[in-house]
Amino acid sequence: MIKFTPFIVLWFVFLAGRIDLSCHARAYSNVSCFENERRALLEFKKDLIDKSNRLASWMGEDCCSWEGVSCSKNTRHVVKFDLRNNVVFDSTRYFNGDTQNYVSIYGKMCLGGQISPSIVNLRHLHYLDLSSNYFAGIRIPTFIGSLKILRYLNLSSAGFNGTIPSQLGNLSTLEYLDLGDQSEGFNFWISRHSLSTKSLRWATSLSSLKHLDLSRVYLDEAQDWLQALNKLRFLSSLTLQSCSIYSFPYIAHLNFTSLTSLDLSSNGFNSTFPLWLFNLTSLVHLDLSDNSFFGPIVPNGLQHWTSLSYLDLSFNQFNASLPDPLFTFKNLVHLDLSINRIQGPLLFGLGNLTSLSVLHMGFNKFVGKIPSAIGQLRELTELDLRWNGFNGTIPSSLWRLSELKSLDLSGNPLSGELRDIHFAQLAQLKELRLSSPLLALNVSSSWVPPFQLHTIGMDSIKIGPKFPLWLQTQQRVKYLVMSNASISDTIPDWFERVCHGIKYLDFSGNHMMGKPPVCKGNSGHEFRKIFFLESNKFEGPLQLLPTDIAELYLKNNSLQGIIPHPDINMTLDILRVLDLSDNHFIGSIPDSLCSLQMLVVLDLSNNQLSGRIPSCIGKLKTLGALNLANNSLYGHIPISLGHLIDLQSLHLNRNNFTGMVPFSLRYLKKLEHLDLGNNGLEGIIPSWIGDELSRLRILVLESNNFHGDIAVSLCKLSSLQVLDLEDNNLTGHIPRCFNNFTAMISAELDSIGINVWVSVLNISYGVVDDGEDLSVFIKGGMLNYTSRNVAYVRFMGLSGNKLSGEIPVELMSLVGLRDLDLSRNHLSGRIPENIGNLSQLESLDLSKNDLSGPIPQSLSNLDSLGWLNLSFNKLTGPIPSGRHLQTLDDPTIYMGNSGLCGEPLDKSCPDGKSNAGESDGGHEDGKESYFYWFYAGLGPGFAVGLIGFFSVLCFKKSWRYAYFGFLENLLNKVWVEIALLKRKFG
């Protein structure tokens, strides 16, 4: 007989319960949803656009098994609805141009269309996620506020637009709300739809809310944002990044003291540090970057943040040192103070941060030596001190940070010699960036580094003259920069094995010889290579163009022979930038270049190419910049260039092109830089240039055979900052409407080169430096501008033509003009009196015309004028003096004007004054001296007075007797005096 002890009884009860639970689980493992909810889901699907067929499983009776739908196993109701797009938008691929239709491909993975109101029939729904889709700017439906028991709502990065509905305040059980845009979604890069709200009063009813993200929601009109959110006492995470908030309202008492994460980055507070933040003693993550905060941070307040593990104060304007209490945060693991204006001994006491793993202090104004106490941060994995004023040698304690994975000391004037021993303990290092012309890397030829780097940034460090042999040990390098490193050597064969995996290579500014590296490898579309090899001494012919490289810069080398054909064994839709300029290539432009269907920039300038431009160039639909300048190309400009509808920059100058400008170029609506100078083009200047090419900023047609009047339609080019029509056969008058060039009116400079290249390329890590070259004859010589400084040019050149008439006074309104050349024409009349309005003018050439009259006194007001030529005209009068004009003391400036006088000429002015403006009288500027009028009236005045006197003598008898009696007595006295003198000395 079995005895049932209490223990056995409990065991059976437990076993029976397990059996019952198992049977219950099996009973609901195939649960089926309610019919009304199934119909509601089908109605919801009907209004959606599902190009990727993500909802293909929405069939049959069991809606609980459908994609994105979850049901309660107890009640069978739909409780979770998750249609988040899990395909992450790869912004790197988009900006690097990895796939022509990448945006379209990503868009097809997004759900779109409308949100059906049938969703309100899911009355038991507590989880709704539609994030990272694309609803094309529709508003957030107000009926979402009817989902009373919703606890999780995520509509972020989904392309919603307009005002946030206040009905969301009805969701009193909501714990998680995300309406933000984290810059990774499709809508941020493509549609730029945005949400806004004028008040956050509706949020005060969300009494259960713990997580709130409103990133990139416009809150500029929501003045109550802080008071409203302060009522959410359970709030633990708040993100208001890039919300256009400009002020911190006063708040007397904080309720959301349980806040552990606060992100207020990228707003515009422009204030001192808000003191109430120190009351958030539970903070673990705080991001206040990019807000223009200024002034000091209160020392005592920092001690309250004892739990802080992430602090980002970068991109502000703090102008005082952070106090020592900052360095008592025992739990601090990430500190980012980069890009501030902090000064002073901030690093004092740094050794107390023994738990610190990430230290970012880049882009500040720290000076002096790097503190040796930094070596006490044994847990440090990332150290970023770039772009400060640290000098001297790198402290030896830094090289003992054995946990370091990333070290960036670039942009500091550090000095000294780095040897093998310095890197001995850095076995974990993955990223190394050093740059200073005072640093030298002097390691033995047999050195084997203890690390495997994937990022090597050693620009402007003395590494040469030999090619660094230790690179052959680095098998994982993706980013390699050794520009301006004094390497004067050939690249060894083994480098091909190392560089096949390199994504970014920069050897520019060295003296490398031999053949340039090819670095062939199976890159694929996801692996774009960018190679900067310019300004070396690479020589010999190129065999094949390595089309597995996305951007290839071989400018300014000694390469010879013909331009090679692309490697047909490689994918031809990868190469996007090809720069072979400033070499010694000969022959014609090969037709095979037309197979590079994704080419954006083609620069073959400054070579010895001949022949015609292949007409197939017009097939390169993505071309944004074409530079064939300074070669020996001839023939007509191909009509097919008009098919390059995305072209923004076209340089065909300094060749031998003839004929007329093709009419098809009028279709280049995006053209900003057109240079056809120094060719043999003829005809009249096409009027469609002004009518159709409205974006033109630079127009150069100099040294051709254009004739006729200047087309008045050019006045429509309001963005024009450079107009060069010099050395043609143009006739007629200078159009008065040239004052419509508003870009020449503004004295402020815009970054034209940068704007052009950002919009053209969209593919590089930085701004492309070549392509926007400009050469103009200014100040008596040829000046060359690149994309770095072309923005500073405001030039109008009309010299060397047959223009007549007066200089339009309207030109004097172009107050931003820096250089004006109207020389070698037939201009007549006077120099405009108000020429002094051109306050930015640096050079002025009016020589070899028929200008007459005086030089305006206002010319002396041009303080920026450094070059002046008024020679060989018919100018008269004294040369103005005063202020800056006195420094221009070269007599040749005024030669050929016989009527001019005064310094610096040897010819003095008749009144004895050297120059206009030095006389004692208060004469008006530009007027003739009043002494000329005095001398001119002296003779007639004397004659009139004499006639009047004799008339009186004729008609007045008494006056006549008196006058002649006076003369008789006077003569008698004179004779008596003479007789006495004769007797005395006789």
Amino acid at 914: S
Mean per-residue pLDDT for 527-546? 88
Amino acid 354: pLDDT: 61
pLDDT of residue 760: 35
Quote the pLDDT of residue 821.
96
The distance of Cα 259 from the centroid of its chain, to the nearest Å, equals 37
Residue 625 pLDDT class (50, 70, 90 cuts): very high
729-767 pLDDT tens trace: 999 999 999 999 999 987 554 433 333 333 333 333 333
* Residue range 556-574: mean pLDDT, rounded: 83
Percent of the chain with pLDDT over 90: 57
The more confidently predicted of residues 619 and 297 is: 619
Q: Which of 515-519, 608-612, 832-836, 982-986 has the lowest mean pLDDT?
A: 982-986
Which pairs from 733-737 meet CB under 8 Å and 24+ separation?
A: 733/709, 733/803, 733/804, 733/805, 733/808, 734/710, 734/798, 734/803, 734/805, 734/807, 734/808, 734/811, 734/822, 734/827, 735/710, 735/808, 736/808, 736/810, 737/712, 737/810
Residue of higher predicted confidence among 390 and 781: 390
- Given the DSSP bridges, would you call strands 479-481 and 729-731 parallel, antiparallel or unpaired? unpaired
The answer, yes or no, to whether residue 95 has pLDDT greater than 50, is no
Q: Indicate the SS3 state at residue 423.
A: helix
More confident residue, 963 or 81: 81
Residue 296 banded pLDDT, cuts 50, 70, 90: low
pLDDT tops 80 at residue 13? no
Cis peptide before 465 (omega within 30 of 0): yes
- Indicate whether 150 pLDDT > 70: yes
- Can you tell me the mean pLDDT for 972-976? 70
pLDDT of residue 322: 47
pLDDT at 88: 56
Instruction: Domains for the chain: give ranges and CATH numbers.
Output: 34-211 (3.80.10.10), 260-365 (3.80.10.10), 600-722+729-791 (3.80.10.10), 830-939 (3.80.10.10)
Q: Is pLDDT above 90 for 638?
A: yes
Q: Which of 109, 137, 115 is nearest to 193 (CA)?
A: 137
pLDDT at 109: 79
* 870-923 pLDDT tens trace: 999 999 999 988 767 778 889 999 999 999 998 888 888 886 555 554 444 333
Strand pairing partners for 286? 262, 311
Q: For residue 232, what pLDDT band results from cuts at 50, 70 and 90?
A: very high
308-317, 332-341, 357-366, 411-420: segment of lowest average pLDDT: 332-341
- The arithmetic mean of pLDDT across residues 293-299, rounded, is 66
Pairing outcome for strands 781-785 and 826-829: unpaired
Is 471 strand, coil or helix?
A: helix
CA distance 568 to 540: 21
How far, CA to CA in Å, does 539 sit from each of 511, 543, 544?
Answer: 11, 12, 14
Residue 429 CA, chain-centre distance (Å), reads 32
Average pLDDT over residues 505-527: 80
Predicted pLDDT at 332: 62
**pLDDT value, residue 588:** 96
In this predicted structure, what is the pLDDT of residue 922?
A: 38
Task: Determine the pLDDT at residue 301.
Answer: 58
Amino acid 237: pLDDT: 95
Beta bridge partner(s), residue 48:
113
CA 816 to chain centre: 22
Give 709-727 pLDDT, tens digit per residue: 999 999 999 999 999 999 9
Listed in sequence order, the residues at least 6 apart from 425 whose beta carbon sits closer than 8 Å to its beta carbon are 399, 400, 401, 402, 450
- Mean pLDDT for the chain overall: 83
Task: Report residue 219's pLDDT band, with 50, 70 and 90 as the boundaries.
Answer: very high
* 3-class SS letters over 652-674: CCCCEEEECCCHHHHHCCCCCEE
Three-class secondary structure of residue 49 per DSSP:
strand
Rg (the chain; Cα; Å): 41
Given a cut of 80, is residue 163 above it in pLDDT?
A: yes
- Does residue 824 register a pLDDT over 80? yes
H or E segment at 975? helix 957-985
- Tell me what percent of the residues of the chain surpass a pLDDT of 70: 76
Name the pLDDT band for 929 (thresholds 50, 70, 90). Answer: very low
Mean pLDDT of 321-343: 58
pLDDT tens digits for range 692-705: 999 999 999 999 99
How confident is the model at residue 571, as a pLDDT?
A: 61
Note the pLDDT tens digit of each residue in 828-854: 999 999 999 999 999 999 999 999 999
Q: What is the pTM of this model?
A: 0.76
Strands 656-659 and 680-684: parallel
- The pLDDT of residue 135 is above 60: yes
What is the rounded distance in angstroms from the CA atom of residue 260 to the CA atom of residue 287? 12
Mean pLDDT of the region 425-447: 96
